[in-house]
Amino acid sequence: MNTETRRVAVVGANRIPFARSNSTYAHASNQDMLTATLDGLVARCSLQGERLGEVVGGAVLKHPRDRDLTRESVLGSRLAPDTPAYDVQQACGTGLEAVVLVANKIALGQIDAGIACGVDTASDAPISLNDDLREILLDLNRAKSTGARLKALTRIRPGQVVPETPRNEEPRTGLSMGEHTAKMALEWGVTREEQDELAARSHQRLAAAYDRGFFDGLVTPYLGLERDQNLRADSTAEKLSKLTPVFGSRNGDGTMTAGNSTPLSDGASAVLLASEEWAREHGLEALAYVTEAQTAAVDHVHRGEGLLMAPVYAMPRMLDRAGLSLADDFDLYEIHEAFAAQVVCTLKAWADPVFCRERLGRDAPLGEVDADKLNVNGGSLAAGHPFAATGGRIVGGLAKALHERGAGRGVVSICAAGGQGVVAVLEKPES
């Protein structure tokens, strides 16, 4: 067995502009958006008819028809139909996990190139039957006689003919992600001002990145949309301060609004990863290399830990293995902005000596992150957050940002529902 590992390069990325739910992409399915995104990457990297080692992707909100979503999207794309594909799902961490899975196979020499992708639509969310009605219909399907069928039908009551839409709450706590984050914000003393300033900065930086052409090689227009629909270039902390709190306001202490929380969104993203040899053979430049990754989970059910704090635990495990320092060894930081409060809680935890000693078992805090290096081209608060597509958006953007710098190192941190988190390191060596 070959025990040597290969460097894994990010050689291309593509996404469609993210749309607010129930708007531009209201009638586009997961498969529609993912296929379009893959074809945009195919066109950008000249992959027409190419058989890749694997395409790995997923969605959080899936219909039964999405059983083989990634494979069906590949079959609908201009990639070679004999390119294998499979689905993964880890809530908001899906896209980054897909990157890690493809990168690991390339590193081990099992494949030479692959695509990591993700898609989600909150507009076309699956709607389930009432459980009682579903049981009746199943019994109706099993019935062998007309009498048995009629008997099953007589059990239907008007109140059962009500569909069940996906619930935005944690199954084991009954609280929404926003309500969980509001508890985190209260625990860490996160102010409204901190959140609104971070949100405004996200919009301003995303707008500036679009204006200077940063996304020209990363975003393919779709259904008439050319920029992320949630983007508000004129956003300011002062304007955001006028919005009414929507989470955690039962006791008059709410700080989380629609402006400093990500909106429900639709969109897809894809990242092309490859070995250096494959990239050279195909005339593609290495934008950056995926060098490390780590996952973690917290017990938000029994120990009452913050639902979105898992990356806080994943980060030191990864950094220790890589021999890196959070505060000193990174040029760029990408922290997924599920909520502005979540980002601030994460930063406060890494800089807090008591938390780092008691929860992370460290003699000293990880350190403070320079705001000038954080989400320099905007984040999820401005772009939107189609759950499984966020990882690809961040990895593609960070790889290009490092490539523009000519050299450097960046870190990605993504929180996920269920008390989980994924972190990763990208590097661009000096040439």
User: Active-site positions?
Assistant: 92, 385, 415
Q: Is the dihedral of CA 338, 341, 344, 346 positive or negative?
A: negative
Give me the count of residues in the chain.
Answer: 431
**C-alpha span between 389 and 382 (Å, rounded):** 14
Phi/psi of residue 225, nearest 5 degrees:
-95, 130
- Residue 343's closest CA among 319, 312, 365? 312
The C-alpha atoms of residue 350 and residue 330 are separated, in whole angstroms, by 15
From CA 50, how far away is CA 42, in angstroms rounded? 9
Under DSSP, the state recorded for 130 is P
Q: Are 136 and 145 in contact (CB under 8 A)?
A: no
Separation CA 217–CA 376 (nearest Å): 17
Which residue in 397, 407, 409, 404 sits closest to 205, CA to CA?
Answer: 397
Which of 370, 373, 375, 359 lies closest to 316 in space, CA to CA? 359
Reduce the DSSP state of residue 170 to 3 states and report it: coil
Neighbours of 343 (CB within 10 A): 29
Rg (CA), the chain: 22
Distance CA 342, CA 344 (A): 5
Q: How far is CA 303 from the centre of its chain?
A: 26
Q: Please answer whether residues 278 and 112 qualify as being in contact, where contact means their C-beta atoms are separated by less than 8 angstroms.
A: yes
> What token pair was written down for 316?
């030191």
